[in-house]
Amino acid sequence: MYGSKPAGSMSRRRAASAAVLGAAALLLAGCSSSGDGDGGGKGAGAGITQQPKEADPFWVNPDGTAARQVASLTEAGEKDQAEQIRKIAQQPTGEWISPENPEEQARGFTEAADEAGRTALLVLYNIPHRDCGQYSEGGAADGDAYRSFVDGVAKGIGDRAATVVLEPDAVLHLVDGCTPQEFHEERYDLLKGAIDKLTALKNTKVYLDAGNAGWGHPDQIFDPLKRAGIDRADGFAVNVSNFYTTEDSIAYGKQLSAKVGGKHFVIDTSRNGNGPYTEGAPDERWCNPPGRALGETPTTKTADPLVDAYLWVKRPGESDGECKGGPKAGEWWPEYALKLAQG
């Protein structure tokens, strides 16, 4: 299976973690901001606050997994480790909407973000036939189920501010041969429908996933992106859940932008501080590689006018899959999180 793919095409998988917050957690997040919307109270006893809005308008979840890890380590007297994990907990990261109760999740996250005067960062990763049967396999049962999922997310967001990264790998896997031909037309239709539904919302921006600097060449993906509706989106996303440097990601994104009407893009910098892993089998370098580090912190103040933001789409510390000793895809891996933070 791997041998049938272009070089580098298997270098990206990611985990969609179940993002359901309990009512108590949402209440805590939503009521913890200061009166001017620039504060953000303490979540999980960890003292997690919002970042300065002028550089980083995205919402920090004060009750996220990393924040709970900080609280647990602090309580155990592991202050040095707690401060390392705080590097993750204090930054806004993507909330991956799971198929269960998507409307409630989207509403909860956007309401909490709105209370803090921030923008929620959401990731939709539920396309049918997702990840071609690998670590993050799954997705909606069929096209109708996916449309219902997107409808739920849209209802949950409403008029509140949200930035949505749409379907990591979905277009990429149409190009590299991973997704069977029989599903291609439906996938294009579903992606276009999702873009239309979400961009119709008053304060929602949508970035369609477009691969990474190590996958291939923009010539291979620009036409599929057009067929998937990139012209209707706010832009595209690169390096989601991967490790390519910001410099290389900007270069890749600018080449691609020139082929899709000058569209802007966002870069996932969550784990690219040390660049990509270059040892071992190429097909496994994307999965929990050792020796990686956190990248630039999320911000809208970037190095290029075409780059709308550096984002932490992948939540640092969550496993890529059951490889190199890691737990299931999307599960929190404390040891790996600590190593990322330590750089």
Our answer to whether residue 131 is catalytic in this structure is yes
The active-site residue out of 56, 63, 114, 131 is 131
The active-site residue out of 56, 169, 176, 308 is 169
Q: How far apart are CA 64 and CA 302, in angstroms?
A: 26
Q: How far apart are CA 122 and CA 201, in angstroms?
A: 14
Q: Locate 127 and state its tokens.
A: 């396309």
The active-site residue out of 56, 114, 248, 320 is 320
Q: How far apart are CA 231 and CA 264, in angstroms?
A: 11
- Which amino acid type is present at position 136? S
Our answer to whether residue 196 is catalytic in this structure is no
Q: Locate 183 and state its tokens.
A: 């599903």
Our answer to whether residue 169 is catalytic in this structure is yes
* Strand partners of residue 96: 123
Q: How far apart are CA 90 and CA 93, in angstroms?
A: 9
Run of H or E residues at 115: helix 102-115
User: Of 269, 267, 262, nearest to 233 (Cα)?
Assistant: 262
Q: Which residues are designated catalytic?
A: 131, 169, 320
